[in-house]
Every structure is written in structure tokens, then in C-alpha cells.
Chain A
Amino acid sequence: ETGVTQSPTHLIKTRGQQVTLRCSSQSGHNTVSWYQQALGQGPQFIFQYYREEENGRGNFPPRFSGLQFPNYSSELNVNALELDDSALYLCASSPGPASGGLGTDTQYFGPGTRLTVL
């Protein structure tokens, strides 16, 4: 069973540029969630994709956008990069979206992409 993978591992961009981060979900998982983890903080929810559609969004501006593909892999796009966007970006996959507290949608995380904006 292949776990969640993310690419690239590290990335350096300059302010104003655009970036695309990629995530491959774990086999059998159809739901992908993206999180931003700033230094010394817990991960912050960006959005979730289920069957190629956005299924919930956190408190992030529209310049954060995403896609999910038919094979359930996903992309996170960030436009007009700002210095504060420097963070670890984590992708998590799960067998499905929330299912009423039964615990069948535990999210499994990839290793993350470290983005530095200069």
C-alpha cells in the first residue's frame, strides 16, 4: 500500500510569483485535504476535495486554489505569493469525507512541501 506522497520536497519562490504543489493520495482514498503549518504552530486547514469538487474551505484568501483529478491526486495553487506564505504545506488523504463521527475518515498525511518565499 502506497502512502501519501507530495512534491516537491522544498521550494523557494519570490514574492508575487505563483506556485503549484502536488499530492498523490493513499491507495483507496478519494478525499484530499490541504493544510498550512507555520513554524511553531499546528496545521491550519486550507480546503478539502472530494470526488474532484471542493468540499469545505478554511479561512484562506481566494489566491489559494486547488484541483483534484480523476485519480484523486490533487494540486494546491497559490498566486501572488507573500512572505507570510512561507510554511510547510501538508496534504492528507482519507477514505472519504466526514462520516458522522464513526472514525472511518481518519486523515493520513504526506511528508509536506517546505515553501520559502523571499
Chain B
Amino acid sequence: DQQVKQNSPSLSVQEGRISILNCDYTNSMFDYFLWYKKYPAEGPTFLISISSIKDKNEDGRFTVFLNKSAKHLSLHIVPSQPGDSAVYFCAARAWGGKLTFGQGTILTVHP
């Protein structure tokens, strides 16, 4: 039972354009959502998070949107840069600290 799904295995974007990564979840008990970026041979790096009481959180080029009624969140990166090329994971947390991760989306930003 995949409670957190990232349905796009990969995304290719031109440098300077917007990257939109999507994530859907099924568990209504999730109260906190995070995005991580992962380079090969490294652990996931925390990017941005959002509480379930908000619908938007912004940090520089990164914005996360949460649509609770649709159980959907998205990460917008604008403008995209080649250094943003990595695997992006969304994660969701229910009470207790356990993070449930999606399968990841490989983002490639072309110069």
C-alpha cells in the first residue's frame, strides 16, 4: 500500500524555466510534509517543508503547495538551474515521527 506516490519517475526542464514536481498521498492523518533532494552517493538533503495547517510555504526559489482536499502537494522550483538536477523525494509524517516517502522523481535541468 503506497501511501505517498510520485507518479512521474522523471522530469526534464530547460534552465531558467519552472520545474513542478508532484506528490499525492492517501493517509489523511499525515500532518507534515517535506521535500528532500538526493544526489548519487549522498543522503537526502532537506529542502522545504509545510505543515498541514498551511497551503503554501516559500523559501527562495523553492515553493511547496499543499491541497489537502485533493491530498496533493507540489514543489515548484523557479528558475531551475542545472545544479538542481537530482532525485527529489516527497515525504509525509503522521504523529510519531515516521516519515513515509514517495518513490522519487529524477529532475534533469538542461543548460
Show the binding face of A for B, using Cβ within 8 Å: 4, 6, 31, 33, 35, 40-45, 48, 50, 55-56, 58, 90, 92, 94, 97-98, 100-103, 105-112
Show the binding face of B for A, using Cβ within 8 Å: 4, 6, 31-32, 34, 36, 41-46, 49, 51-53, 89, 91, 93, 95-104
Mostly helix, strand, loop or mixed at chain A's interface? loop
Determine the chain A residues whose CB is within 8 A of the CB of B36 once the complex forms. 109
| Contact, CB under 8 Å: A97 / B96 | yes
Determine the chain B residues whose CB is within 8 A of the CB of A110 once the complex forms. 43
| Contact, CB under 8 Å: A33 / B43 | no
Instruction: For the A-B complex with A42-B89, A90-B43 known, give 10 more contacts whose Cβ atoms are closer than 8 Å.
Output: A4-B43, A48-B97, A50-B97, A56-B98, A58-B98, A101-B32, A107-B34, A107-B46, A109-B46, A110-B43
| Contact, CB under 8 Å: B95 / A98 | yes
- Cα–Cα, bound, A94→B93 (Å): 13
- Cα–Cα, bound, A92→B93 (Å): 14
Determine the chain A residues whose CB is within 8 A of the CB of B89 once the complex forms. 42-43
From residue B17, how far is it (CB to closest CB) to chain A in Å?
A: 26
- Cα–Cα, bound, A11→B31 (Å): 36
* 5 A-B contact pairs sorted by A residue (CB < 8 Å): A100-B95, A103-B49, A106-B49, A109-B45, A112-B43
Partner pick for A42 among B31, B53, B93, B102, CB 8 A cutoff: B102
| Contact, CB under 8 Å: B52 / A101 | yes
- Cα–Cα, bound, A103→B101 (Å): 17
| Contact, CB under 8 Å: B44 / A43 | yes
From residue B40, how far is it (CB to closest CB) to chain A in Å?
A: 11
| Given A42-B89, A112-B43, A107:B99 Cβ within 8 A | yes
Determine the chain B residues whose CB is within 8 A of the CB of A41 once the complex forms. 103-104
- Cα–Cα, bound, A31→B98 (Å): 12
Determine the chain A residues whose CB is within 8 A of the CB of B44 once the complex forms. 43, 90, 109
